[in-house]
Structure 1
Amino acid sequence: MNDRPDDERLRDLLRGADPAASLPPADPSRVARLMEITMSDDPLTETRQDGTRNRSTLTWLVAAAALVVIGGAGAFVLINDEDEAGVPVAQESIEPTDETAPVTTLAASAPDARCGVPTAAMLAQQQVAFEGTVQEVADDVVVLVPSLFYAGKPSELVEVQGPPQELSGLLQAVPFEEGERYLVSASDGRVSLCGLSGPVSQNLQELYVAAFGS
């Protein structure tokens, strides 16, 4: 079978359907240049605008999720840094049950010529009572380091203060000496005499235990 007439008829139909059939032939040099450009052009290369336009909605959602994660991590680090720099660390606070004052200050008392026999009942009425060692004796102060408080608020030191004349009279009643231990009581901020304060002895210690307990 000879298909040539059909081929000719097909070519005629294609020429009639070609919109450029009536145009003059293209310049051979231009055709060659276009062919070269077509062969060297990378069809996968896309411009920033084209690439952005052609990206799918899923791509944008993934990118947005990544930005949220990165932003959240940055905020977490920033907040932690601010907490460490600005806030204290919470420091442990100790609430003392028995506060110890730095110094208890007492006034010297002049000896009383009329003194009765000291009793536990009389001693129990004293507001301050302690045992301590004399650290310093000066013209206007006697400093003691307490080892035991029977009554009153505990303190690290006890200072018995007064003008030299009054302190001299006190020393006649209670001979304070550096390095020696004493039992001292006081009421209304003044050292009590008449046998209620003095050097540690068995009798005076028993009196303090009877008045305040051991």
Structure 2
Amino acid sequence: MNEDELLARLRAADPALVGVTPAPDVDRLLEAVMTTTRVPAPTSGTRRPRRPLLLATAAAVALTTAGAFAWQATRSPASSPSAAPLVLRVQAADGTAKCAAPSVAMLRANTTAFEGAVTSVTGQLVTFRVEHWYRGEDGRTVTVNHIENLEGVSFRTGESYLVVARHGRIDACGGTVWAEPTMRDLYRQAFRDQ
């Protein structure tokens, strides 16, 4: 059998050939369509609008986001701008005492330790923006009062200082100094387990 014979057999077996298939009854089909009043139900392939689902999803995302912001706001009240700053007071030193160099043991005896940049100096008040807490509070602002009693330290706006205090009081010889690498290392040693 060659290709031409095979093609002839296939054509003879094809029921869709024009000569074999009867012509459609167009008049009957048209009449059926025109007289039908029933709307067919959607088939499984028809898509329904998803607007309610999208609206519900958007509402859930909005509520979750709002809840996360509310939780964060209540979680860290000390870092909020409305939190009152920590206020420390410098204790007056005995005029005859000489200050010893700060040591790890002397720094560890304090309940508050931080590094902060001076944001303002007004009279006897110095305000710090805390850059790093070593021990104690968790706020962003600290005010130190009675700085005239602090020996050997003059505060300048924009400069960073290391400050220690015990129960809200800064000892005149207690290790409050300008922040330089050697003193930062000493503070890290004193408060590394904190």
Matched, 1:199 2:184: no
1:8-39 CA-partner distances (Å, limit 9, x unpaired): xxxxxxxxxxxxxxxxxxxxxxxxxxxxxxxx
Which residue does the alignment assign to 1:190?
169
Is 2:103 the counterpart of 1:123? no
Tell me: CA distance 1:107–1:97, structure 2 relative to 1, closer, same or farther (3 Å). Answer: same
Q: Which amino acid aligns with 1:169?
A: N
In structure 2, which of residues 180, 189, 193 is the aligned counterpart of residue 210 of structure 1?
189
Q: Residue 137 of structure 1 aligns with which residue?
A: 121
Letter in 1 for 2:90: A
Counterpart AA for 2:192 = G
Specify which of 109, 116, 127 is matched with residue 91 of structure 2: 109
2:140 alignment partner in structure 1: 156
Q: Runs of 5+ in structure 1 lacking a partner?
A: 1-88
Secondary structure of the corresponding residue to residue 205 of structure 1 = helix
What corresponds to 2:148 in structure 1? 168
Distance 1:184 1:118, change over 3 A: same
Report how far residue 213 of structure 1 moved.
Answer: 1.5
TM-score where L is the length of structure 1:
0.50
Deviation at 1:124, TM superposition (A): 1.1
Which structure features the higher share of helix residues? 1
Tell me how far apart the structure 1 counterparts of residues 181 and 75 of structure 2 sit (CA, whole Å).
34
Contact 1:184 1:192 in 2 (8 A): no
1:112-165 residue CA offsets vs partner (Å, 9 max, x unmatched):
523333211221121110000011111131111111000001112100123xxx
Structure having the higher Rg:
1
Unpaired segments ≥5 residues, structure 2:
1-62
TM-score (norm 2): 0.55
SS in 2 for 1:173: coil
Question: Is residue 178 from structure 1 mapped to residue 157 from structure 2 by the alignment?
Answer: yes
CA distance in structure 2 between the partners assigned to 1:174 and 1:110 by the alignment: 14
Over the aligned positions, Cα root-mean-square deviation in angstroms equals 2.4
**Alignment size in residue pairs:** 121
CA contact (8 A) 1:111 1:173 kept: no
